[in-house]
């Protein structure tokens, strides 16, 4: 069995996972902190639909989570401790691993590996984030634009795209790094619509990634000859950065979908097996409603150890597959509709801390089915749930 060394303890402490000696009975403080650190990674994965990754184009916290996850995967004691909680299978995932062995890095080197510099005159914990050279180049590429001499031939395209957005033929969606950037694609960056008109020959950059020089036209009559990776970084850093979809979007819910549809996830409805008095008295009405990009069986693995599942096993009572839609926005919409029936139920997590889960509702399943139908036909925004009549009512 792999044992903790002093270097392991120091590195885990640097990553926010403190090590303490074993106490008799229950979890040790070290185990609690390892679990807490792992739960932060799980929350990141749930929010962004992927495990944290390394790279200069990533947020500093994501890079810290990625290093922490690498270390937790390496240490057998951590894997054994976290395995029952790992419903997202993060410990089994491969992915990119730092090329340099973290054991060989001193404090400054480890921080530098994460893209953070420590002021020599200050405490090691007082950090400041320094933009990478790639981030600086991306900002400069977006800022450096020239007048588009042949904008007259592009102007009708911008007008048509705007009309299609207004009619619903096209939609704007949050930019994701996996989104393809190619000639003919449209984006919104820096508050302006951007059209990728041309792409040069693909090459491999210094980081070993494919890249290409683009001609990008903006709706203010300017253009930029920037790299694909620069546009990608600019969109990723821009909180309002958007991808404009092609004119024909796929179905929202369907067992069949077009070849180029982008799968977004699944709406799931769960019933709790908890012995909480509120749940026991209303077993057929108490439902957890959420949206996930994971397999639902995978999502509910280890439910009895998680406060979001009321620290109890659950059963799946309904699922609805969805395509080409923001999971987060859809979940927020569903929760807004059923807000009047949200269940205020307090439980304690495995550390005895009080928690109030937010995704449980006192609503019959047939009303959830009706809400999904109204999501399909686009009328759901006109409705809210009325607990008195147990029905959807016009808002």
Name which of 277, 141, 271 is nearest 218 in CA terms. 141
Residues 214 and 310 in one domain: no
% of the chain at pLDDT higher than 90: 21
> In whole numbers, what is the pLDDT of the chain averaged over residues?
77
Domain region containing 239: 133-244
Among the three residues 85, 105, 129, which one is the final residue of a domain in this structure?
A: 129
Q: Which of 5-19, 222-236, 314-328 has the highest mean pLDDT?
A: 222-236
* 68 inside domain: yes
For residues 116 and 164, state if they share a domain: no
pLDDT at 193 exceeding the cut of 90: yes
* 169 and 52 both lie in a single domain: no
pLDDT at 101 over 80: no
pLDDT band with cut points at 50, 70 and 90 for residue 322: confident
For the record, the structure tokens of 345 come out as: 């139920």
Phi-psi region of 62 (alpha: psi -120 to 50; beta: other; left: phi over 0): alpha
Do 365 and 291 fall into the same domain? yes
Q: Are residues 123 and 158 in the same domain?
A: no
Give the model's confidence band at 10: pLDDT under 50 very low, under 70 low, under 90 confident, else very high: low
Q: Are residues 59 and 106 in the same domain?
A: yes
- 213 and 190 within one domain: yes
Both structure tokens of 147? 């007048």
Report the domain count for the chain.
Answer: 3
Greater confidence (63 vs 131) lies with 63
Per-residue pLDDT at 324: 64
Residue 137 lies in a domain: yes
Q: What is the pLDDT of residue 142?
A: 54
Q: In this structure, are 158 and 97 located in the same domain?
A: no
Question: Residue 380's closest CA among 389, 363, 393?
Answer: 393
Find the mean pLDDT for residues 186-203. 90
Q: With a cut of 60, say whether residue 185 has pLDDT above it.
A: yes
In terms of domains, do 332 and 270 share one?
yes
Q: Which of 57-71, 219-233, 297-311 has the weakest average pLDDT?
A: 57-71
Given a cut of 60, whether residue 129 has pLDDT beyond it is no
Distance of CA 277 to the CA centre of its chain: 34
* pLDDT over 80 (residue 352): yes
The candidate with the shortest Cα–Cα distance to 202, out of 190, 193, 192, 210, is: 210
> Where does a domain end: 129, 152, 179?
129
Task: Decide if 13 is inside a domain.
Answer: yes
Instruction: Assess if residue 258 is contained within a domain.
Output: no
On the question of pLDDT at 53 being above 70, the answer is: yes
Q: Kind and range of the H or E element at 218?
A: strand 214-218
Tell which wins on pLDDT, 205 or 267.
Answer: 267
Regarding whether 224 and 138 lie in a shared domain, the answer is yes
pTM check: above 0.85: no
> Given 107, 129, 151, which residue is the final one in a domain?
129
Compute the distance between CA of residue 98 and CA of residue 267 in angstroms, rounded to an integer: 35
Q: For residues 32, 35, 41 and 43, what is the CA-based torsion angle, rounded to 10 degrees?
A: -80
Nearest-angstrom CA–CA distance, 158 and 257: 29
Instruction: Reply yes or no on whether the pLDDT at 207 is more than 80.
Output: no
Of the candidates 304, 279, 292, the residue with the CA atom closest to the CA atom of residue 331: 292
Confidence of residue 114 (pLDDT cuts 50, 70, 90): very low
Mean per-residue pLDDT, 364-374: 89
Q: Is residue 250 part of a domain?
A: no
Give the pLDDT band of residue 247 (cuts 50, 70, 90).
Answer: low
Q: Tell me: do 166 and 105 sit in the same domain.
A: no
Task: Look at residue 249 and tell me if it is in a domain.
Answer: no
Give the SS3 label for residue 36: helix
Q: 201 lies in a domain? A: yes
The beta strands (E) that lie in 326-395 are given as 347-348, 354-355, 360-362, 383-386, 391-394
Question: Do 198 and 283 fall into the same domain?
Answer: no
pLDDT tens digits for range 249-276: 344 554 445 444 455 678 899 999 999 9
- 143 inside domain: yes
Percent helix, percent strand, percent coil in the chain, to nearest 5: 35, 20, 40
Q: What is the mean pLDDT of residues 43-55?
A: 83
DSSP symbols for 276-292: -HHHHHTTTTEEEEEEE
**What tokens appear for 126 in the block?**
């007082």
Average pLDDT over residues 305-317: 91
């Amino acid at each position: 069995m792999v044992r903790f060394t002093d270097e392991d303890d120091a590195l885990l402490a640097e990553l926010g996972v403190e090590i303490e000696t074993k106490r008799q009975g229950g979890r040790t403080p070290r185990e609690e902190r390892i679990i807490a650190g792992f739960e932060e990674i799980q929350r990141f994965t749930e929010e962004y639909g992927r495990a944290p990754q390394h790279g200069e184009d990533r947020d500093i916290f994501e890079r810290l989570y990625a290093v922490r996850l690498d270390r937790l995967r390496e240490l057998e004691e951590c894997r054994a401790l976290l395995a029952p909680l790992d419903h997202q299978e993060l410990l089994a995932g491969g992915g990119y691993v730092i090329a340099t062995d973290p054991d060989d890095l001193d404090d400054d080197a480890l921080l530098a590996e994460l893209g953070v510099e420590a002021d020599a005159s200050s405490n090691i914990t007082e950090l400041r984030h320094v933009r990478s050279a790639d981030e600086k180049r991306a900002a400069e590429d977006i800022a450096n634009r020239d007048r588009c001499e042949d904008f007259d031939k592009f102007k009708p395209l911008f007008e048509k795209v705007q009309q299609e957005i207004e009619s619903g033929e096209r939609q704007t969606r949050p930019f994701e790094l996996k989104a393809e950037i190619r000639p003919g694609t449209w984006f919104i960056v820096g508050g302006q619509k951007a059209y990728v008109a041309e792409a040069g020959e693909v090459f491999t950059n210094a980081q070993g990634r494919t890249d290409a020089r683009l001609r990008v036209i903006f709706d203010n009559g300017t253009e930029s000859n920037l790299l694909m990776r620069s546009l990608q970084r600019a969109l990723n850093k821009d909180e309002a950065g958007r991808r404009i979809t092609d004119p024909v979007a796929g179905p929202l819910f369907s067992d069949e979908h077009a070849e180029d549809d982008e799968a977004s996830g699944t709406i799931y409805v769960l019933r709790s097996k908890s012995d909480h008095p509120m749940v026991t008295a209303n077993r057929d009405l108490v439902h957890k409603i959420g949206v996930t990009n994971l397999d639902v069986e995978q999502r509910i693995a280890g439910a009895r150890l998680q406060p979001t599942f009321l620290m109890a096993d659950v059963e799946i009572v309904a699922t609805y597959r969805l395509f080409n839609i923001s999971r987060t926005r859809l979940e927020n919409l569903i929760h807004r509709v059923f807000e009047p029936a949200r269940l205020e139920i307090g439980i304690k997590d495995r550390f005895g801390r009080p928690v109030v889960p937010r995704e449980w509702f006192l609503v019959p399943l047939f009303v959830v089915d009706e809400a999904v139908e109204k999501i399909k036909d686009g009328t759901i925004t006109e409705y809210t749930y009325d607990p008195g009549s147990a029905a959807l009512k016009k808002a």
